Structure formats: C-alpha cells, structure tokens
Structure 1
C-alpha cells in the first residue's frame, strides 16, 4: 500500500502548479471575500449562502471573466439581504488578482410594525403558533413559516375543502418597518361522503381500502388524501394515483381514487464473467401480487462453474403490523470450490420491521442441511445447522445499484447450533459499512466511494467449523485482482515426493476488507472508475486492517436506466508466485459496491 501512495504523491508533485487549472477537477470559480460593516454573523451567513448558490448554478460556470461573475452574484447578494429584512443595503464589488471582494453596508434591518390574520373567528380557536410577531425582523423564512403554521393548523383542526393561505407585507421605508397580513381564502367546511377506488382489476379492493384510512363521515382533509395516495404507491402495485373530489352536496364530498396498476410479473435474465470463476448466467421470475394483496413470490437460479443455486422466496407485507414484512425462503445450492465441495438445502423465515425511513431491523430462523467435503479430508461431514439471524441496517443512499450519495451500515449477529450434534455451536458476526460522496459541481461529477467489512466467528476453532460457513476473501465482490476465495489461511500439503507446498485457502474465523473507488461520469451513458481493494481472512478470530493483500485497477461503466454494466480489470499488488495471475477481469451488472 505505501507504494500506491508514493506513486500518487509523486504524480501530483510532478504536475506544474500553473497548469492545475487545465485539469477538470481544478476548473472552478474565482475566490471571493465578503465584508459587512459591523455584523459578523450576517457576513458568515452570506458567505455560506453564496457558496451554496455557486454549487447549484449552471449560469456561473459559463462565465470566464471574474467581473461577470461578480455582477451576477451581486444580484444574488441583494436577494439574500432582502430575505433577511435588509431593504436599504448597498453593495460594491472589486476584482483583484482574480479574487472578488464584496463590500456591503446592510443598512437597517426592517422590523414588523403590525401583524394580523384574516380568517373566520371559529377557525382561529386554539391557534397561537406563529413563529413571527410584532417587533421581529422581517425575515422571509419566518414569514413563510407563518404561512405553513396556519396551513398545518387548518389541516388538522378544520374540514375546509381547500386550504389557501397567503400573506402581504407592506414596506414602510421611512420607518424601516412593515405591516404583515395573513389571509385565509374562504372555503366551505365539508365531510367525506362516498369513498371509491377505480381502475383496479387484479388487486383486492378491500386491501387497498384498508390503506386509505379514510371513511365516510370523516372530516375532509387534503392532507389525508395526500397520505392515502402515498400509501397506495408504496404498495409497489400501483404506478399512478389521482384523487378526485366531487362538488359539495349537503355538506359532503365524494372522494374517488383513480389508480393505474403496475405490471406485477417480471422475468429477468443475466450474464456475467469473472476470470477466476468463468462465465455465469442467472434467471429469475417475480410476481408481486400473487395472492392479490401485495404478496410477492420470487424464483431465481444462478449457474456458474463453481456454484449453482435455486432459490424461492415468498414475502408477505404488513405482517401483523403496517411496518412489518415476513419473508420465507427455500434454497438449494451446490458448490465446487478449490478447498471444498458442498451441497445444501436451506429453509428459513425472517421478519423485517421498518424502524424509520432509513432503518430496518430483522429477526429470523434458518435450518440448513448440508454435506461438506474438504479437499484434504477423507469422506464428508453432514450438518443440520439451526441459526437465528438478527440484523440491523441503515441505508441513506440515493440508488440501490448505483449509489452516488449517502451511506449504509449493516450489522448481523447469527448464532448457530447443529441439531444433530449440539456440541457444534458458533456465533458469526458481520459488519459492513459503505459511504458515497459526489461532487456534482465538478466536471465528470466525481464520486468517492468507500467500503469496509469485518467479520468474526467465535465458539469453535477453524477446522471444526463447516468449510462453507468460514470467511473467505478475494474476488469481484471482495478483493479484486485475486482469484475468488484465494486469500486467507493455507495449510501445508505433502507432495508424493515428500516435499511440502501451500494448499488451497481454507477460510478463516475472521475477515477484513476495505475498498476505495473514484467514479467518474463522462456522459449520460459512459463512466469510469479507479479503485484500490484490500482484504484477508484469518484463522484466529481477530480481524485487522494491517495484514492485508492489496489490489488495484480501472474499470468502465455503461450506464443504463436500470443499473450500470460493469467491466473491471484488476491487478494484484502483492502477487504471490505460482498462485496469482497477472490480472483479473470482472463483468457484471451494478457497481462493485
């Protein structure tokens, strides 16, 4: 790893400083300074806001002359000052050595002289939540906050057919004051009459009605309509929802939800290639409404030279709770690895609960019947492993298959016991962290991606563990540049002539992995990556990030509407004689992580 850093530093230092602006990532707007007479807090706020506006401005990127940038930004500063109540501010700018200096005299901050709310008295009962009052500065965010406070109150406490709140601020320049008036537009109060759903043919209508949580006789609320539309869309059975409200009749309105169903069936075919594993194919079929209430069944098969799997999974949504799903699975697998072969049948069920928008917890049970034969052992071992996986996951990423922003954190605790031999007990713990940061304002929109993974198995020594449950490192989803599962402990094997050599990697009780990628987008359809991976597996249950094998490489991405197609070429930086090839090639769908 030090050789990598030394090379990158040497390359950077070799670049003439005066030519840095020719590199896409150094093509940026001129520096600026903001000077405000007597108000440091206002100065700091203007700096932050101007920086934010710069990041989102495509207009500024078209200017080459700093004076053009200054004239444009002076208008932005004027708007920002007015939003804080400074209506008499004066701004001057100058450009010296490519740096823009803005000198600002903000003048007086306008205050609210009077404030009134124009709405019927019966609607005002219990309302006292304005975030702004007489004597406060006339700041735009607080004025708009007043509009929202009134709207929220009326949505929760009135049955208005339409909630329309506006405001008027009358500026009195001679006094540096303003009169502020909020107005609620007249609207009848109504209740809900008939509630209908139209446009569905294959979904149980009673199931959808339960999602609405709107019943005849309820106080009418636009907010409840919006919430109902969102809940219908979240079933993943509906592609569009329009809500229609009839004209009032005898104090009631009918509510009609017009839906368009999604296609519920999907057939998937895929191919991939890893140079250490060979070509692979996958096929899958999915029905997202198998029993007409959002239940999903998925059947998938994957075949490559080292592993063949067939898996069926049934997901039942809203399992006893709105925020809870049940997933049951059956999986058949056959593996032919360098150090072992295994055949297995796994059945299991897991309950997933949504704790918040980005957090999910899970608890389940699995029973795995397997026959495992290790390369250097005589005969095979049979296992009947019962496990109880517990999981917690945080996910704030913006895209599952091509994340550009956000992070994930996944923790799994999985205790095992062999029901045929209760002395075989062990605990498997895994933690995976990823993070993504994109500089959208830079050319090629570079994304820095980081992945960390660590795992520990306790309770048995390495050779007592089933070979297919140990940790392995190396390969396209681990350490690129090395063959699949080729990193980790290797036993000495005696040759027929009495000499010894290192055998195949047998896996371990601990795992450490780290990956760092720089991703670029050259166009809407093409991208590229540079990456460094490190990792290893250990016989002792003590993962560390100091004794790693490193690989590095480059890749190309063809970006589709669904996910990017990946082609990576990786090189082992700690190449072992007679063990590692000069490079590895990986072709698959989606980013590496």
Structure 2
C-alpha cells in the first residue's frame, strides 16, 4: 500500500499523466475553489502563456485562426464539474481572441490541461487524466456555431491548418483584403475522471496550552462538520469541515480557537483520503467583562444590558448570536458586532466587546389610502427611538378620513426591569362617523411586554376607555370601562410589510367592567393568524393565508358598547364588501355588529417583474349575533390585485367583487389602494 502526504498547493503536475499520476500535489485542490475561481476572470491574465505575443503576431499578420472547443468524456450528471472546467479554461475564455497559429492554440490547451486536472482533484478525482487533440473543423460538423471568428475575417477554406497568407503594399503594411482566411479548428479535450477518492478517516489534533490531544472525530463531530466516511472527497466540504470543527470547539467554551495546519493523506492503492484538522486553542473560558464601543447618544450600560448570558456562564457562540440579534432588532443601530477579544484571563474569563454604529433616531413619515366605500384617508407621524438615551421610543400620530379623525400615541421603554422586557403604553382620542356608530372614543393602555422565546411574546396590563357612541341596536349612552388586556403573540415572518415566509399568531383576551354609566361586564376573546409559504428561493411566488375568529362572553349584543362588538368587511378583512357591512344589518342596512366573528382568506402573490406583481385572492367572513351561532355560513368575495414594489414595501391596488351580493346593500365591486400587503 502506498500512501502520499499532500502538502503543496501549487505543485506542478506532469502533463503526461501516464508517467506521473499519483505523485501529486493532491492537496492542491482541496484548497482549490478560491484559487481556481481566480483563474476564471474575463480580463487578460499575465501568467506567461504568450497571450501578449499572440496579439502582437495577430496584428502583424492581419489574420487569426478561429476555433471551437469541446469537452468530452464527462458523466452527464457531473454538471457542476463541467461548468467549473469551462469556467477555468483559457481556450474558452480567449475564444473571442483567436490565435494566429496552431501552436498558439496548443499552448492554450496545454495550459488548460493543468487547470482541468486541478479541478478534477478538487472534485475528488485524483487519478483523472486530460488529453487534447486539435483537428481541422469539418464543415459538416454540428459545432460550427461554436466557432468564434475575429474581426479580421470569417471562418473559411484556407490553404492549410496553419496557413497564413498576405501581400504587402508599397508601404510595407499588410493588405488584409488579400488575406485568405485559414480553416477553423476544433480543440477537443478528452477527460477521464476515473475512480473518485473516498473519505476514510477524519482526525482532530487539538493543541491546548498545556497538552496536545490527537484522536479520531466522533460520529457527532462528523455530523456537526457535515462530513461522513465514505463520501467523495471534494474540496468544498473538506474546507468547510475545518470551519465547522472550529465552531464546535467554540461551542465547548474555547472562544479563541483557530485552525492550524490541515493535512491530507492519499492512499493511492485503496483510493481513499484521510484528513487531519489541527485546532489551536486557548484555555476554556467563561464570559467576562463587557465593553461597548461606538456608542454616542445611547447609554453604554443599556447596550451592555442586552447580553443574554448569566455572569460566570461558560462561553457560548449561541449566546453571542442571540445578543447580536436582539441589539440589531432594537432599531437603534445600523450595525452591531459582538465578539470575544481575549486573551483569557487568569480567572478563566474572556472579555466581550460590543461595537455598534448608531442610526438616526428621529423619523417623520406618513401614508395615504383609498377605497371606493371609505373614500380617501391619510396619516402622519413623528417618532423618536432614543428619547431619554436608553432606547425609549415615542411615536405621535394623526389620522383623518371620512370615517375617523384623531390623535394617537405610543411609548415603549425596552429592557424594563429585566432583559427582553419592555414597558409599553398607548392611547388615542378619535371621532368616528361610520355606518355602525358615530361619536367619540378615548382609549388608554399601560402594560408590560415580555419576549420569552425567539418568536413569542406576551403583553399584559390594565386598560381604560371612555366612549360616547350612537349606533344601531345600541344603548346610546356614555360608557366608562376598565379592563385587563392580555395578548400572546408569535411572529416568525421575515418582513412586516411584505412577508414571504413564516407565520403570525395573536391570541387576545380582554375582560371589561363598567366603572360608571350603564352596567356592563363582558370578556372579548379573539384569535388571528396568517401563514406565508414561498415556492421559490427568491420569494417571487408566495401563497398567503389568514384567519380570524372571536367571541364575546357575558352581555347580550344590545347591552354592549357599539365599538366593542365584532364587525367585518372592508380592506382589512373581507375585501369586496363595504367597511363593517358583513354581518347583521338593521332596517336601514346599517351594521349592528355581533358577539362572534369568523373570517378566512387566501391569496397567491406572483412577482412578474422586479417591480410588478399580480395577486389573485379569495376571502370569506361573517359576523353573528350570538356567541354560539347555529349557522356558520360565510359571505364570499374574490378579486385581483396589482402590486408595485418600492423600497419601503409594495404599493397595493386591489379590485374585489362580492360573490354573495345582497340586493340594495352591496356594490358590484370595491377598489382599495394602500401601502403594504393586505395581511
């Protein structure tokens, strides 16, 4: 059995593989992806292969030999290998600059043989052989379309393979009009990949400050390195396997581990490869002191408070990842870097550095919307995301439409009392004029929001409300309500305005009691959800679905404040019907609302161009007087939407028609215009 130690990256390989084969720089291409890619650019290379002299000769002689290139012998399933060979080929890259002689084409081919054999090794074919031949191109061959001619002449019949003819004028210059173009040539590479080498062993050589341990990788370590014994030894997984090995050493509390010398051994008799990864560590460490760089207006202690680990906890890159993600999601920074900076102290702790680049903290914005039923609407807001220097966010807004006008404000203080917990507050004062009710409404809420998992959060706090509303089947009295709002949320979507994957879920329980005015005690329970699934990696084709269900427990509909009943219909629920008009109506066809609601909808989002998309959709819903209705029949609608994608989100234009149109109630169609997807 003959074993070879592979250590040279750029060792030349004999062009005659029959004399030379396994004395390889086999490692060469276990590292080779990046080196090979560097050889594949479109610009000229100064590698000493005679390209410049060929260009001079071509200019002097006024002619060149066009040629076609064929790569033969590869398994049709080796598409990536074929693409890489073509990518590194000098002959193919310079095909638009034909050589003035057959000898020049031979030099290009000889150069390619070395490159091709290097690529074969990077794909695990260490016994691969490459030869070539150059022949005159038969006019009857099907490859004539592959011939690239120079600007000096077209492919044609000439005097011979290398014949170059020309006549000089009186000034000694070549007369190109008298040049007879030489015959085009065909360069054929014959590639024999032969038996691929397989991975037989992975060894870890771990160099600690006080000892060196060398052992075979465990099954778990192989799995984490995405390697398995018996796989074909290609360059990419071997290179990545080293980085994975570094990663799982970091997972074990070695923050400053780095890769040392990688050794690859080939057994030419058994056609196998063994790999040894050298890992150089510092001491195992716990999390140490946290320092902050780059903070300008944000308190450094506030930034350091985002750390997810406990004092004295063993170092873990997962905790570093969580801290970086939470800081990035705070909307306070343009960039965030969290890293160990070493060295490990005598006490076994590694310092952690958080480097941030603050973004602008104030924003002014607004938007408009329109529907045929509701008319135009507009809103504007001002927001500051660092009000007192610790990420406090205050947002004040104003909105106006035919249905409502008023002011609203929200406040959020992150890291309230503990990590991943925020103090939240909101309030609004609005005047309403809808078909369901008219009057004034003032609402307020103060609570605590806590994130307890990557996608989950919960909010709990008291709420107070004053309403003076007049509506159908309504007590028409002033209500003073106090209540408790509890919300459980899950949001794994990737974009708030245009999600292409993930889901949203919100479960809301809100009990209320009157503290003045008419007596009322009731609880509102609702569940809203949406799901998004992309059919392609780019998210150009997405199916989205949504649902809503809710019930009110405790009071009859006629005893409930008008604004606390459920309503359905309009751009945010069932498009195709007027706002709030899906459900019970009085004798004037005004909506009365109900104690339960059910809605479903689905749409297919197809991005036709970079900026234009089409969205067919179907939706259904209904509101029921009872909290336990006997009949769950829905009113259905369908439509087609147009999306114009902008930097801030899609501009939405929808046309919807009611499929269960009611006489003297529903219009033939509804039109909606706004920013962002419907859900």
Matches within 5 A, 1:332-481: 332-375=429-472, 380-420=476-516, 423-440=519-536, 445-481=540-576
**Does the 8 A contact of 1:163 with 1:187 survive in 2?**
no
Matches within 5 A, 1:105-254: 110=198, 112=200, 115-120=203-208, 122=210, 130-131=218-219, 137-139=229-231, 148-149=244-245, 151-154=247-250, 156-158=252-254, 160=256, 163-164=258-259, 167-175=262-270, 177-185=272-280, 197-211=292-306, 229-241=324-336
Q: Give me the whole-angstrom Cα distance separating, in 1, the residues matched to 2:428 and 2:273.
A: 71
Does 2:421 align with 1:290? no
Report the CA distance between 1:412 and its aligned residue: 1.1
Alignment-derived partner of residue 676 in structure 2: 590
Q: Give me the whole-angstrom Cα distance separating, in 2, the residues matched to 1:334 and 1:123.
A: 76
Report the CA distance between 1:364 and its aligned residue: 1.9
Report the CA distance between 1:288 and its aligned residue: 0.3
Report the CA distance between 1:124 and its aligned residue: 6.1
**Does the 8 A contact of 1:563 with 1:589 survive in 2?**
yes
- For 1:428, what is the secondary structure of its paired residue? strand
TM-score, with structure 1 as normaliser: 0.72
Report the CA distance between 1:108 and its aligned residue: 10
**Does the 8 A contact of 1:151 with 1:165 survive in 2?**
no
Report the CA distance between 1:290 and its aligned residue: 0.3
Indicate how the Cα distance of structure 1 residues 112 and 143 shifts in structure 2: closer, same or farther if over 3 A, else same: farther
Q: Give me the whole-angstrom Cα distance separating, in 2, the residues matched to 1:269 and 1:483.
A: 25
The correspondence for 1:552, drawn from 631, 635, 638, is 638
**Does the 8 A contact of 2:246 with 2:258 survive in 1?**
no
Q: Give me the whole-angstrom Cα distance separating, in 2, the residues matched to 1:127 and 1:114.
A: 9
- For 2:573, what is the secondary structure of its paired residue? coil
Report the CA distance between 1:194 and its aligned residue: 9.1
Output the aligned Cα RMSD. 4.4
Report the CA distance between 1:466 and its aligned residue: 1.2
Report the CA distance between 1:420 and its aligned residue: 2.6
| Deviation digits for residues 125-174 of structure 1 (CA, Å, limit 9, x no counterpart) | 899983369997244879966863554335644463x5226644433242
Q: Give me the whole-angstrom Cα distance separating, in 1, the residues matched to 2:484 and 2:648.
A: 34
The correspondence for 2:359, drawn from 262, 269, 284, is 262
Report the CA distance between 1:566 and its aligned residue: 0.8
- For 2:301, what is the secondary structure of its paired residue? helix
Report the CA distance between 1:471 and its aligned residue: 0.7
Indicate how the Cα distance of structure 1 residues 243 and 389 shifts in structure 2: closer, same or farther if over 3 A, else same: closer
TM-score, with structure 2 as normaliser: 0.64
Based on CA coordinates, which of the two structures has the bigger radius of gyration? 2
- For 2:563, what is the secondary structure of its paired residue? helix
- For 1:122, what is the secondary structure of its paired residue? coil
The correspondence for 2:421, drawn from 297, 302, 324, is 324
Q: Give me the whole-angstrom Cα distance separating, in 1, the residues matched to 2:219 and 2:124.
A: 16
Alignment-derived partner of residue 516 in structure 1: 602
Indicate how the Cα distance of structure 1 residues 512 and 271 shifts in structure 2: closer, same or farther if over 3 A, else same: same
Indicate how the Cα distance of structure 1 residues 190 and 571 shifts in structure 2: closer, same or farther if over 3 A, else same: closer
**Does the 8 A contact of 1:279 with 1:304 survive in 2?**
yes
| Deviation digits for residues 236-263 of structure 1 (CA, Å, limit 9, x no counterpart) | 2111245799897999999765532111
The number of residue pairs the alignment matches comes to 498
| Deviation digits for residues 20-48 of structure 1 (CA, Å, limit 9, x no counterpart) | xxxxxxxxxxxxxxxxxxxxxxxxxxxxx
**Does the 8 A contact of 1:131 with 1:142 survive in 2?**
no
Alignment-derived partner of residue 6 in structure 1: none
- For 1:179, what is the secondary structure of its paired residue? strand
Report the CA distance between 1:207 and its aligned residue: 2.0
Does 2:579 align with 1:484? yes
Does 2:648 align with 1:579? no
Q: Give me the whole-angstrom Cα distance separating, in 2, the residues matched to 1:541 and 1:302.
A: 33
**Does the 8 A contact of 1:389 with 1:412 survive in 2?**
yes
Report the CA distance between 1:342 and its aligned residue: 3.0
**Does the 8 A contact of 2:253 with 2:316 survive in 1?**
no
- For 1:153, what is the secondary structure of its paired residue? helix
Indicate how the Cα distance of structure 1 residues 486 and 121 shifts in structure 2: closer, same or farther if over 3 A, else same: same
| Deviation digits for residues 64-89 of structure 1 (CA, Å, limit 9, x no counterpart) | xxxx9x9664345999xx99999999
Indicate how the Cα distance of structure 1 residues 463 and 83 shifts in structure 2: closer, same or farther if over 3 A, else same: farther
| Deviation digits for residues 158-206 of structure 1 (CA, Å, limit 9, x no counterpart) | 463x522664443324235443312024779999999754433321233
| Deviation digits for residues 563-590 of structure 1 (CA, Å, limit 9, x no counterpart) | 1111111111111121111111111110
Q: Give me the whole-angstrom Cα distance separating, in 1, the residues matched to 2:631 and 2:196.
A: 58
Report the CA distance between 1:223 and its aligned residue: 7.8
Q: Give me the whole-angstrom Cα distance separating, in 2, the residues matched to 1:250 and 1:583.
A: 72
| Deviation digits for residues 361-411 of structure 1 (CA, Å, limit 9, x no counterpart) | 22222111111222466x831212222122222222221111112222221
**Does the 8 A contact of 1:119 with 1:184 survive in 2?**
yes
Q: Give me the whole-angstrom Cα distance separating, in 1, the residues matched to 2:642 and 2:620.
A: 20
**Does the 8 A contact of 1:130 with 1:149 survive in 2?**
no
- Unaligned 5+ segments in structure 1 are 1-67, 90-105, 494-501
Alignment-derived partner of residue 407 in structure 2: 310
Q: Give me the whole-angstrom Cα distance separating, in 2, the residues matched to 1:430 and 1:174.
A: 70
Q: Give me the whole-angstrom Cα distance separating, in 2, the residues matched to 1:254 and 1:541.
A: 59
Higher deviation after alignment, 458-467 or 179-188: 179-188
**Does the 8 A contact of 2:477 with 2:518 survive in 1?**
no
